[in-house]
Amino acid sequence: MNNDTEKRRRFESLAREYATDLYRFGLWLCGNDALAKDLVQETFLRAWKAIGSLKDDGAAKSWLITILRREYARTFERKVPRFTDIDEVMVEDSDELSPDERMERTQLRAGILSLAPRYREPLLLQVVMGYSCREIAQELELKEGAVLTQLFRAREQLKNKLQLDDET
């Protein structure tokens, strides 16, 4: 097998395995379906160009998340505006939810998105991507104690926000 074939096989394997996770994380970051899809495309384009630098496939998920986060940051450097409100984003679910469950999900999503990025990102990495505190610390280049503090504060702010919403 030649080098190009091996490179393509390796890349296709990574794309199949992580595309859904990357899209879900991108959607949570930006709140826009089209932009999330663009972020995933740009992530895979950069990953294709740099696939040779990935030494350990076990680190691929973290590597791809880092690329996606940097691509998202670049959208602001390029002054790309957000296109839609999160309320307009439709994420398909295989299960039908009751109206109350849909409202709870909408409130939870809005509450998470209202958090400051320093609290939102670690929470999303843990809840959406399933990262451990150690993995979050590595991804965000923080100490584990700082991650634990940010996660605690994120949950507290979210809890207070949701309680306030329930009272109004």
Q: What is the pTM of this model?
A: 0.62
pLDDT tens for residues 131-148? 888 989 998 999 999 999
* Separation of alpha carbons 96 and 45, rounded Å: 35
113/143 same-domain check? yes
Residue in the structure block whose two tokens are 């398909």: 92
CATH number for 102: 1.10.10.10
pLDDT tens for residues 56-80? 888 899 999 999 988 888 876 654 4
61/102 same-domain check? no
69/125 same-domain check? no
Q: Which domain holds residue 149?
A: 98-167
Q: Does residue 85 carry a pLDDT above 80? A: no
Q: Which of 4-13, 15-24, 80-89 has the lowest mean pLDDT?
A: 80-89
Does any domain span residue 91? no
Amino acid at the residue 39: L
CATH number for 11: 1.10.1740.10
Boundary of a domain, candidates 77, 109, 126: 77
The number of distinct structural domains making up the chain is 2
| pLDDT averaged over every residue in the chain | 83
Q: What is the DSSP string of 32-75?
A: -HHHHHHHHHHHHHHHHHTGGG---GGGHHHHHHHHHHHHHHHH
64/111 same-domain check? no
How deeply is 85 buried, as exposed, middle or buried, from its count of CB atoms within 10 A (0-12, 13-18, 19+)? exposed
Do 151 and 126 contact (CB within 8 A), yes or no?
Answer: yes
